[in-house]
Amino acid sequence: MKDKIKIFLDSDLLEKYLIGSTTKEETLQVERYIAMHPEVREMYLELQENLEAYAKLHAIKTPDGLKEKILSTIKAQNSLRKRFTRYAVAASVAVFIFAGSSYFFWDQNQNLMQENTIVSNKIKTLEEDMREQLEDVRNQFIVLNNPLTKKYNVKGNKNARDLKAIAYINPVKKLSYLNLRNLPELPEDKCFQMWAEVNGEMVNLGVIKEITDKEKLLALPYAENAIGYITIEQKGGNMAPTVENIVANINY
């Protein structure tokens, strides 16, 4: 250990460190030695004292005005730094506001774009609905107006005596409509469901809700020799008609 310290002290590294001419690695090495070995620390302290004393022996009176020059340079730098700090703060605030407003506008843009998609989808759906309804109204008009349209009165069987409906069938235009005039009251858990047998297949036409508009015409799928049925089913409708519950049939 002693040898190590002697080698270190002989290496001049401490002297180089003293006057500030060591490399980064050397500096770390020297500082480690100073921290770890009291004799190195003592030597370093002594060298510092010697350096100060020796340097003082070489003191030369500074030229007049140098002090003022230095102080004014430092003052100028300080105010520059303060100004810079002010600008930096202002710039930071500006950046913050810019970032905030950018986000705000981006968010708004995003919302508007979303709304736009929703609105355009709605318009599309409305358009389709309208076309369908218009087509339906046109067909209804044709059916009702056409002299070739046959009108059938449909009545319910014994299970639904009050059921009254009128079917309009036009074999030329291949259109058929049903106008429900009256539906008998059903228990809470039952409902009427409409079916059509078209080309040998049973088509579910859906559950009949309460009659809100007596003038309303319900479209039936057209086929030659098709049969329409109305059945009583469990509330919510059924996948296939319950044959024994058929209350009315419409041949067309």
Partner 1 sequence: MSVLLEKHIVELLQERNEKAISLLYEHYGDTLFGVAYKVVKDHDLAQDIVQESFVKIWKKSDSYDSSKAKLFTWLFRITRNTAIDKLRSVNTKTDKEIQMDVSDVYRIGVESTRPELMDVREHLDKLESKYQIVLDALFFQGMTQQEASDELEIPLGTIKSRLKIGLRELKKIYGSSMVLLSLISIWS
**Contacts with partner 1, residue ranges (CB under 8 A):** 12, 15-16, 18-21, 31, 48-63, 66-67, 69-71, 73-75, 77-78
Structure tokens at 32: 């480690």
Q: What's the Rg (C-alpha) of the chain?
A: 51
| Smallest separation (angstroms) from partner 1 to the CB of 17 | 9
Structure tokens at 185: 């009251």
C-beta closer to partner 1: residue 15 or 136: 15
| Smallest separation (angstroms) from partner 1 to the CB of 29 | 14
**Rounded to the nearest 5°, which phi and psi values hold at 130?**
-65, -40
Contacts of 38 (CB under 8 A, 6+ apart): none
| Smallest separation (angstroms) from partner 1 to the CB of 4 | 19
C-beta closer to partner 1: residue 31 or 162: 31
C-beta closer to partner 1: residue 48 or 251: 48
Q: For the chain, give me the number of helices (H) and strands (E)?
A: 5, 8
| Smallest separation (angstroms) from partner 1 to the CB of 11 | 8
Structure tokens at 217: 């015409």
C-beta closer to partner 1: residue 17 or 192: 17
- Spatial CA neighbour of 170 closest among 211, 219, 134: 219
C-beta closer to partner 1: residue 39 or 52: 52
| Smallest separation (angstroms) from partner 1 to the CB of 1 | 22
d(C-alpha 206, C-alpha 15), whole Å? 103
Q: Which strands, in side-by-side order, build the sheet including 150-155?
A: 150-155, 164-170, 175-182, 217-220
